Amino acid sequence: MEREAGFMSDIRILIVEDDPFIAMDIEYAVMEKLGGRAELIIVESVAEARKAAQLKVSCALLDIDVVGGKTFDIAASLLHKGTPFAFVSGSTPDEVPTPLRDVRFVRKPFSTNEIVSFVANALENA
């Protein structure tokens, strides 16, 4: 999501999703909850996600299968940094590597309440 030049927020949420309609659903759910207080970084590929994950983010929502592969290395990096994240995927939880299995897993199709609840809890505990 493009923001005006100079916009900086203390709340930065990374969304990695290659389906534009699902990305939009997540974006609207989060924006409805947080309004203009959050900066959303929405990317669709592993390469873009790697770059974005180098930034300081408050939390992240990761689809597993996106353009360029799987997001497990990004997930491992976020876990190492202590950044809260959830997988939002049509994959099954048993496809997640063992070191990442304790991470929140939201199965597609999801309810926007699940997304909002995760983000709210992640920000509250940050």
- The 10 Å Cβ neighbour count of residue 15 is 25
**pLDDT at position 1:** 40
Residue matched to tokens 């920000």: 123
In order of 44, 52, 104, 108, the CA distances from 111 in angstroms are: 21, 25, 14, 8
Split the chain (126 residues) into runs of 10 and give each run's mean pLDDT: 51 97 96 90 97 95 98 97 97 95 95 95 90
Domain for residue 93, yes or no?
Answer: yes
Domain for residue 106, yes or no?
Answer: yes
**pLDDT at position 8:** 55
CATH number reported for the structural domain that contains residue 73 in this entry: 3.40.50.2300
Domain for residue 6, yes or no?
Answer: no
Q: What is the pTM of this model?
A: 0.92
Domain that holds residue 50: 11-124
Task: Please give the tally of structural domains in the chain.
Answer: 1
Domain for residue 3, yes or no?
Answer: no
Return d(Cα 49, Cα 6) in angstroms, integer.
22
Domain for residue 5, yes or no?
Answer: no
